[in-house]
């Protein structure tokens, strides 16, 4: 059974494209994300209105910076949904070309709810 010239050309083009895609995929499997990654633990000070900025009072980040309070860009705003000041978090600080962002943000401990003495105090005599 013989294929026509047009069909042969088409089959070769498809096979060549698939071969290139396979090579690109294999090369990409060994790639590592650009930048340095550091574990961060701290307490939320403020969550930006859009969820793109998170201010954290964090401990020392060995090999990168001392303990401080600092605002960071958030890679995924969904990760900060529900966070509030006082919440304890863990995250990964990713630094690329002197720019830092937080990824993999997880809640470690929810802030304790402080009682409001003005609300509900009916013990006045």
Say whether both 44 and 74 belong to one domain.
Answer: yes
In a domain, 122, yes or no: no
In a domain, 69, yes or no: yes
Q: Give the tens place of pLDDT for each residue, 47-61.
A: 999 889 999 999 999
In a domain, 9, yes or no: yes
Say whether both 55 and 100 belong to one domain.
Answer: yes
Q: What is the domain extent for residue 19?
A: 1-31
What percentage of residues in the chain have a pLDDT greater than 90?
A: 57
Say whether both 100 and 50 belong to one domain.
Answer: yes
In a domain, 115, yes or no: no
- Please state the domain count of the chain: 2
- Whether residue 91 contacts residue 97, with contact meaning beta carbons closer than 8 Å, is answered with no
pLDDT number for residue 119: 61
Q: Which long-range contacts (CB under 8 A, 24 or more apart) does 66-72 make?
A: 69/45, 71/46, 72/100, 72/101, 72/102
């Amino acid at each position: 059974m013989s294929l026509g010239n047009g069909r042969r050309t088409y089959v070769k083009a498809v096979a060549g494209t698939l071969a290139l895609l396979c090579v690109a995929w294999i090369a990409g499997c060994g790639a590592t994300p650009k930048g340095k990654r550091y574990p961060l633990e701290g307490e939320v000070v403020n969550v930006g209105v859009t969820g793109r900025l998170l201010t954290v009072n964090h401990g020392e980040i060995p090999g990168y910076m001392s303990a401080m309070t600092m605002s960071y860009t958030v890679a995924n705003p969904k990760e900060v949904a529900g966070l509030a000041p006082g919440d304890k978090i863990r995250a990964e600080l990713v630094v690329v070309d002197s720019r830092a962002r937080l990824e993999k943000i997880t809640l470690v401990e929810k802030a304790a709810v402080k009682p409001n003495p003005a609300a509900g105090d009916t013990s006045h005599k």
